[in-house]
Chains A and B, each alone.
Chain A
Amino acid sequence: MTVIKLTSQDGKPVEFVPTLIGQGGMKDVYFSPDHTYVVAFYRDKLDHASNERLQAIVGSFRDGIFNRAGGDYWQNLFRWPTGIVEWGGRTGITVPTYQSHFFFEHGSKNDDMLKIKGREKEGKWFSSASNRNSFLDPRELGTWLSYFRICILISRAVRRLHAAGLAHSDLSYKNVLVDPAGRNACIIDIDGLVVPGKYPPDVVGTPDFIAPEVMATSRLAKADPKRFLPSITTDRHALAVLIYMYLLYRHPLRGGKVHDQDPARDEELGMGERALFVEHPTDASNRIRLDQVKKSALPWADAARLPFTLTGPLLAPLFKRAFIDGLHTPSARPTADDWEFALVRTVDLMQPCQNHTCQAKWYVFDNTVKPTCPFCGTAYRGLLPVLNLYSSRKAGTYTPDNHRVMVYDGQSLFPWHVNRNVFPNEKLSGDQTRRVGYFRLHQGIWYLVNERLPDMKDLTTGKAVPPNSHVDLVEGKRLLLSTEEGGRVIQVQMVVG
Chain B
Amino acid sequence: MRRLPVYLLLDTSGSMRGEPIQAVNVGLRAMISALRQDPHALESVWVSIITFNRSADVLMPLTPVDLLQLPDIVAPESGVTHMGLGMETLIEQVRHEVTRNSADRKGDWAPLLFVMTDGSPSDIAAYQDAIPVVKGLGFGNIVGCAAGPKAKLSYLLELTPTVVSLDTMDSASFGQFFSWVSAAVARGNRSQGLSAAVDLPPPPPELQVVT
Chain A interface (Cβ < 8 Å from any Cβ of B): 23, 25, 43, 114-116, 119, 122, 124-125, 128, 130-131, 134-135, 170, 172, 174-175, 189, 192, 201-208, 210, 218-219, 222, 229, 256, 258, 260-264, 266, 289, 292-294, 297
Query: Which residues does chain A contribute within 8 Å of B76, judged by CB atoms?
Result: none
Q: How many A-B Cβ pairs are below 8 Å?
A: 98
The distance from the CB of B50 to the nearest CB of chain A, in whole angstroms, is 22
What is the CA–CA distance of A233 and B107 in the complex, to the nearest angstrom? 32
CB of A204 within 8 A of CB of B193, answer yes
What is the CA–CA distance of A23 and B100 in the complex, to the nearest angstrom? 33
Residue of B nearest to A134 (CB): B66
Option from A114, A202, A210, A260 in Cβ contact (under 8 Å) with B42:
A114
Query: Which residues does chain B contribute within 8 Å of A131, judged by CB atoms?
Result: 39, 42-43
CB of B190 within 8 A of CB of A174, answer yes
Query: Which residues does chain B contribute within 8 Å of A23, judged by CB atoms?
Result: 183, 201-202
CB of B101 within 8 A of CB of A260, answer yes
Option from A115, A192, A205 in Cβ contact (under 8 Å) with B33:
A115
Option from B40, B106, B202 in Cβ contact (under 8 Å) with A258:
B106
CB of B43 within 8 A of CB of A128, answer yes
Option from B2, B39, B110 in Cβ contact (under 8 Å) with A128:
B39
CB of B191 within 8 A of CB of A206, answer yes
The distance from the CB of B140 to the nearest CB of chain A, in whole angstroms, is 7
Residue of A nearest to B111 (CB): A263
7 new A-B contacts, CB < 8 A, other than A204-B194, A292-B106, A294-B1, are A124-B189, A130-B43, A131-B43, A174-B190, A205-B191, A258-B103, A264-B110
CB of B101 within 8 A of CB of A262, answer yes
Chain B interface (Cβ < 8 Å from any Cβ of A): 1-2, 33, 36-37, 39-40, 42-43, 66, 100-110, 138, 140, 183, 188-194, 196, 201-202
What is the CA–CA distance of A23 and B201 in the complex, to the nearest angstrom? 9
CB of B42 within 8 A of CB of A206, answer no
The distance from the CB of B167 to the nearest CB of chain A, in whole angstroms, is 19
Query: Which residues does chain B contribute within 8 Å of A189, judged by CB atoms?
Result: 191
CB of A43 within 8 A of CB of B2, answer no
What is the CA–CA distance of A258 and B108 in the complex, to the nearest angstrom? 12
What is the CA–CA distance of A114 and B36 in the complex, to the nearest angstrom? 6
What is the CA–CA distance of A116 and B37 in the complex, to the nearest angstrom? 6
CB of B192 within 8 A of CB of A263, answer no
Residue of B nearest to A257 (CB): B106
